[in-house]
Amino acid sequence: MKKIRNIFRIIVFIVIIVFNNLKVYATDELSINAKASIIVEANSGKIIYEDNAQIQNYPASVTKILTAIITLESCKLDEMAVVTESAISNIPSGYVVAPLVIGEEMKIEDLLYALLLKSSNDAAYVLAEYVGGSVEGFSDMMNKKAQELGCKNSHFVNPNGIHNDNHYTTAYDMYLIAKYAMQNEEFVKIVSTYQYILPATNKYKNSDRVMKNTNNFVNPNSNYYDETVKGVKTGTTIPAGNCLITDTIRDDFNVITVILGAETSDSKFSETKKMIDYMFNNYTHTEIHKQGDRIKNIDVERATDETKNLGVIISDDVKVMNNIETNVSEIEPEIFLNDNIVAPISKGQELGTIKYTVDGLEYNAKLLAENDVVLKTYYVEMAIAGVALFMSICVVVIMNKGKKKRKKGRR
């Protein structure tokens, strides 16, 4: 019997250890194999994870996100651009091209699909020359736009990410650029498309230029395919390594991930998947209050006995984002009531605010009166008497002024 008890204790001990280890694994600190990386929940702006996110790195073709959004904001999709000799000749050997043909007339829309799906460097140069007048002029537009978006550690010298020592950014800056770009419906439509065929043109008579998206998360034939991933862009050069930015919309979350400098082409996807899984395995939304929930009761001065006990209710639903290990029920709110809350009060009248702070994020709502609060008769009578007294004084003053005027007139 003693041996059985000991065996049972050992089994229980092992089960506890295994359980604890599984729990730790589920919420363990994330480690990403890349030069720089970041996860941000874009709706709230909360940084879930970052590693070297403010360190400057080469962006390779994720540069084209900025090129695309500037183009979309500068011209219409059906405008026509002409492929120049300089747009073709400036591309070093080994870099991806559509290919485009000198003198070819192409819609801006088609060039954007070539730019963002196949990552065509010739399309980038054509767009830069069309929108900015020159590569240099367009680069100035890129740097101005980046600054407007809050990028502090970026500098761009071309529209495609062809390597240049003076062309650099950070994981955080690319998050800002990607977040902004994903607010443009046409941009989202393009980067979430798997395949697009360039139409025949004046110089290219065939419709055989197939632009396939290099982002495996939007490729239905890939093991990485995820229908909740809406884009955005890959990039690869030898100095930059393998880069990838994704935007995942799932469970009321909008999660943007950035990887700069992953070791291999596949690892930029596997490490990104690890980041996406980490976010959705460790974070959730918790509803703390529904609109109209009573937060507290207060006694209102000068109110009738029947209405002086007033319920204070919340104006809106309060739904917070939290780590699954955070016990939201234990979080106490900060309540700020207005000074001198006295009768009369109307139902729905604003009485103050309430604030919850959860995992570093603030959630605010208004506090409202649940019902009418009636002024006590005594105070009503006093108010009436006060008004009557004031009016009486006014009448007396007016009469005295009239008497004085009449006296002056007799003189």
Whether residue 385 is predicted with pLDDT greater than 90 in this model: the reply is: no
Whether residue 199 is predicted with pLDDT greater than 70 in this model: the reply is: yes
pLDDT of residue 64: 98
pLDDT of residue 12: 39
**For the chain, what is the mean pLDDT?**
90
| Architecture label for domain 30-283 | 3-Layer(aba) Sandwich (3.40)
Q: What is the pLDDT of residues 88-99, one digit of tens each?
A: 998 999 999 999
pLDDT of residue 389: 73
pLDDT of residue 263: 97
pLDDT of residue 398: 75
Residue labelled with tokens 């880069």? 243
Structure-token pair, residue 262: 């992953």
> According to CATH, what is the number of the domain 290-369?
2.60.410.10
Sequence-distant (6+) residues with CB within 8 A of 18 are none
Say what the pTM is. 0.83
pLDDT of residue 21: 41
256: closest CA among 185, 179, 186, 183? 179
pLDDT of residue 331: 94
Distance (Å, whole) CA 359 – CA 48: 10
Give the H or E element holding residue 352: strand 350-358
With 0-12 / 13-18 / 19 or more C-beta atoms within 10 angstroms meaning exposed / middle / buried, residue 126 is buried
pLDDT of residue 407: 59
307: closest CA among 342, 257, 256, 352? 342
With 0-12 / 13-18 / 19 or more C-beta atoms within 10 angstroms meaning exposed / middle / buried, residue 383 is exposed
Task: Please spell the DSSP secondary structure of 258-304, one letter per residue.
Answer: EEEEESSHHHHHHHHHHHHHHHHHHEEEEEEE-TT-EEEEEEPBTB-
Predicted confidence band of residue 403 (pLDDT cuts 50, 70, 90) = low
**For 147, phi and psi rounded to 5 degrees?**
-65, -40
Whether residue 279 is predicted with pLDDT greater than 70 in this model: the reply is: yes
**209, β-bridge pairs:** 198
> What's the mean pLDDT in 26-49?
90
Query: Which amino acid is residue 291, in one-letter code?
Result: Q
> What's the mean pLDDT in 201-221?
96
More confident of the two residues 51 and 397: 51
Structure-token pair, residue 312: 């204070």
Predicted confidence band of residue 406 (pLDDT cuts 50, 70, 90) = low
Whether residue 14 is predicted with pLDDT greater than 60 in this model: the reply is: no
Please, what is the end-to-end C-alpha distance for the chain in angstroms?
Answer: 128
> What's the mean pLDDT in 370-395?
72
pLDDT of residue 391: 72
Catalogue the E-assigned strands of 75-228: 80-82, 105-107, 195-198, 209-212
pLDDT of residue 390: 73
Distance (Å, whole) CA 250 – CA 138: 35
Q: Which of 33-37, 54-58, 87-91, 133-137 has the lowest mean pLDDT?
A: 87-91
Whether residue 361 is predicted with pLDDT greater than 60 in this model: the reply is: yes
Task: Please spell the DSSP secondary structure of 99-116, one letter per residue.
Answer: ---TT-EEEHHHHHHIII
Domain ranges of the chain: 30-283, 290-369, 379-411
> What's the mean pLDDT in 292-310?
95
Distance (Å, whole) CA 5 – CA 1: 6
